[in-house]
Amino acid sequence: MDKLKKVLSGQDTEDRSGLSEVVEASSLSWGTRIKGFIACFAIGILCSLLGTFLLWVPRKGLHLFAVFYTFGNIASIGSTIFLMGPLKQLKRMFEPTRLIATIMVLLCFALTLCSAFWWHNKGLALIFCILQSVALTWYSLSFIPFARDAVKKCFAACLA
């Protein structure tokens, strides 16, 4: 458990710079980080569900859906900031192994909101929300060793 805490908080093998020492000096306790993660992740799920229910509201449903669903997914991703810290989260998001997944997630966020507010296309908003979910799943799998390879092999076996 201590190794997990060190890895998630960024204390395992990295060099310590002055900035990282300042960030760590003001960091939250491990228990507070876990509570913040759970709270932020739960808020993200609730917002996504609320957005799904609001889709069927006349006139403003599409706008509410796009905003709540996208905000819920952003909150879910943001919840890991409590575990790793904001700087390490940003560094890990843009590592070469997950750069394409990160770009796809951010692009789907933007396209979902564009399809709702500028293009007023409900079908397109739904398609981008589905793509959001797929991109977030692929992004999340990048944090689990060999998970992407396992998914690729599973799909290859199913399609063969």
Q: How confident is the model at residue 25 (pLDDT cuts 50, 70, 90)?
A: very low
Name the pLDDT band for 59 (thresholds 50, 70, 90).
confident
Confidence of residue 52 (pLDDT cuts 50, 70, 90): confident
Over 60: is that where the pLDDT of 49 sits?
yes
The predicted pLDDT at position 21 comes to 45
Q: What percent of the chain has a predicted confidence (pLDDT) above 70? A: 83
Task: Categorize the per-residue pLDDT at 10 as very low, low, confident or very high, splitting at 50, 70 and 90.
Answer: low
The pLDDT score that the predictor gives to residue 26 is 44
Predicted local confidence at residue 77, as pLDDT: 92
One DSSP character per residue, 45-113 reads HHHHHHHHHHTTSTTTHHHHHHHHHHHHHHHHHHTTHHHH-HHHHHHHHTSTTTHHHHHHHHHHHHHHH
Taking 50 as the threshold, does the pLDDT of residue 45 lie above it? yes
Residue 68 CA to its chain's centroid (Å): 14
Instruction: Report how far residue 2's alpha carbon sits from residue 15's, in angstroms, rounded to the nearest whole number.
Output: 19
- Whole-prediction pTM value? 0.77
**Residue ranges of domains in the chain:** 31-159
Does 128 have pLDDT greater than 50?
A: yes
